[in-house]
Chains A and B, each alone.
Chain A
Amino acid sequence: MLAFLKRYKKILVILSFPYLYFLFLLIAPTHKLVIAPGGLTPVEQSISIEGIHMVDQFHTIYVYSYYPMTPFQTFVTANDDRMAVYPMSERQKDTSWRDDYLSGQISKLSSLQISVIKAYELAHQVDPSITIDYHFAGLLVSYRPSRITELEVGDRVVAINGVSYEGLDEISFLALSEAKNVTMLIERKQGNEWVTKSVSYELDENEPVLRFYPDYIIDHAQPSFTLPGLDSIIGGPSGGLIQTLSLYASLLKLNIGDLKIAGTGTIEMSGNIGKIGGIRQKIYTAIDQKVDVFFIPSDHISEIQGIDYPFIMYVVSTIEEAVQALHEVIN
């Protein structure tokens, strides 16, 4: 080996410099994040209702979010309009890939729960035989500064500074978590058992605040449902709006025809449709996937200027507006 290397010493020394330079470009992490167009997921893969055929025209949209980028990726995406490159936030720098994945799963669970509740409630107004009973069961931790090791992503917060979630709604309970000095009573699933634990922390001045998603327990639903989408690796709350519409249309057996419907936007218990990340990349994905109708939260309308899209777009700010738009589509 040494004799072999000696024979080609000169050329190896010359080549080693560009080799190491390119290696650096390909593996060194930068503090940047890229959001790239992704694909569609049929809602029927995420939710199924007993005895009811899910309308198969509704699709949620996912985009790829990757960080940290390498210098090579920064270079090749520099002039690509379809990609969005951002500096990483303090929260992203502080989040491991495992916690990021878990956070996506937590937000998806919460989004599916709220979608089911809202869709059943809206369908109940048309068909009273469709019913649902649920209760607020606390907040799920989606992000916590990594230094607070006692707290884990996915823990359920049931009391804050001695005040229990019982008797409070989501907004009032969430407001309690905004204090600087907090003592939380949490529940954590370990194996088949739920363990209760108390966690105290004090947030530093410039530290990112904790993030939570509401946990709603559905006690009874008629017709009953299952959530196979919880087993998927795709996470995030942005499917809320379209999941709700798909469930609503399926429960009421609405005839959508052969339209391909997609959309994005979170759903809140108030019925408001919230903002999501990577809206331009979602529009590009919808164009690539040749959708016919697209639902978008009204908060994003200024961000998509300049994109020439071939589909009908409905801009909505509440789920009630989205349902009305859906009826317009059908008619």
Chain B
Amino acid sequence: MKSLINRLDQMLHRFKKLIKLIDKQASMKSVVKSVLGALLLSFLSLLLPVLTVINMFIYTKHTFFLAILLVIMVVAWPFIYYYFYYRLLKNYHPSIEDVNVTLPYWVESSLIATVLFVIGIIVLSIIF
């Protein structure tokens, strides 16, 4: 138990260090451009699968399954968003290419995904 807490603490420490390193190298302008670009690209990536699921709602027998699929897609969105965000940021600042963004990517994506997952479960339990 203690070692798990220690490992989490180390991970958090590394995460903070990496975020500071990325923030130091990135400019405000490039961050805003990366955020907007990542929003657009993640939206376009999920648009077709989400529309397909919405179209399939005419199969009312499978409504619950389709709603779960929608929640999965919503939960997948932060992972896609942060993937494009770091890709674009590296594109603007080639110096970040040397920084290991895997940890910030997984931590930030997982945090947002957890929040969206909880909201999704609440919405599902209200509807069904």
Contacts and interface: CB of A to CB of B under 8 A. Distances in A.
Interface of A: 1, 3-4, 7, 19, 22-23, 26-27, 34, 36-39, 64, 66, 69-70, 72-73, 76-77, 83, 288
Contacts of A39: 60
Given A39-B60, A73-B55, A4 B37 contact: yes
Contacts of A73: 55, 58
A1 B37 contact: yes
Contacts, number: 45
Most chain A CB within a 10 A radius of its CB, from B33, B51, B55: B55
A229 B23 CA distance: 58
A274 to B, nearest CB: 25
Nearest to B38: A1
B48 A19 contact: yes
Interface of B: 33-34, 36-37, 44, 47-48, 51-52, 55-56, 58-61, 87-88, 91
Instruction: Decide if the interface of chain B is mainly helix, strand, loop or mixed.
Output: helix
A4 B58 contact: no
| Most chain A CB inside 10 Å of its own CB: which residue of B37, B52, B60, B87 | B60
Contacts of A83: 58
Contact of B52 (A1, A4, A66, A72): A72
Contacts of A34: 58
B60 A38 contact: yes
B91 A27 contact: no
25 contacts: A1-B33, A1-B34, A1-B88, A3-B91, A19-B44, A19-B48, A22-B48, A23-B51, A26-B48, A26-B51, A26-B52, A34-B58, A36-B58, A36-B59, A37-B60, A37-B61, A39-B60, A64-B58, A64-B60, A66-B58, A69-B58, A72-B55, A76-B55, A83-B58, A288-B61
Given A23-B47, A39-B60, A4 B55 contact: no
A72 B36 CA distance: 30
Nearest to A66: B58
Contacts of A1: 33-34, 36-37, 88, 91
